[in-house]
Amino acid sequence: MQTAGPGTIMWYKNRGDHVKDFIHNDWKAHKVRLCAETAGMMISLVVALILMATTPHPPMLLCYVLWETASVVLLGSAMSRGSVGFSCLYAGFLVIDCIGLIRTVLA
């Protein structure tokens, strides 16, 4: 009998099933939170693409407004999930991006 240890096909298949089950269960239990988390992450990816496409002179005002929006949405989701680590992370992003936004507006 073959075990499903790390490096085996069954191990990877089981991990994929676990992720699918987690997403499915989270969707059934917390649709709004899952949509908010997805939207926050998508906003962050859009900002990264904006920065990539417009370097060396990106529209920082737009980027900071989008980052602030993503941080608020993700902070709310993290607090709803009860995640202290992610709540601290997104609160930190919120403060950092707020300072950057203020400096951009005043420049």
Side-chain-side CA neighbours of residue 65 (13 Å): 5
DSSP conformation class of 61: H
Asked, for residue 2, whether it belongs to a domain, the answer is no
One-letter amino acid of 42: M
Q: What is the pLDDT of residues 25-74, one digit of tens each?
A: 989 999 999 999 999 999 999 999 999 999 999 999 999 999 999 999 99
- Angle, CA 9 vertex, CA 3 and CA 24 arms, to 5°: 100
pLDDT value at 16 more than 50? yes
Look at residue 84 in the predicted model and tell me its pLDDT: 96
pLDDT value at 7 more than 80? no
Asked, for residue 3, whether it belongs to a domain, the answer is no
pLDDT value at 1 more than 60? no
Asked, for residue 15, whether it belongs to a domain, the answer is yes
Element (H, E) at 73: helix 60-81
How much is the mean pLDDT over the chain? Answer: 89
Asked, for residue 1, whether it belongs to a domain, the answer is no
Question: What is the rounded average pLDDT of the residues 68-81?
Answer: 96
CB atoms within 10 A of CB 73: 21
Asked, for residue 30, whether it belongs to a domain, the answer is yes
Asked, for residue 71, whether it belongs to a domain, the answer is yes
Give which of 22, 34, 42 is closest to 80, Cα–Cα. 34
Asked, for residue 100, whether it belongs to a domain, the answer is yes
Look at residue 26 in the predicted model and tell me its pLDDT: 87
Asked if 58 and 51 count as a contact pair (C-beta separation under 8 A), the reply is yes
Look at residue 17 in the predicted model and tell me its pLDDT: 77
Give the total number of structural domains in the chain.
Answer: 1
What is the residue range of 55's domain? 9-106
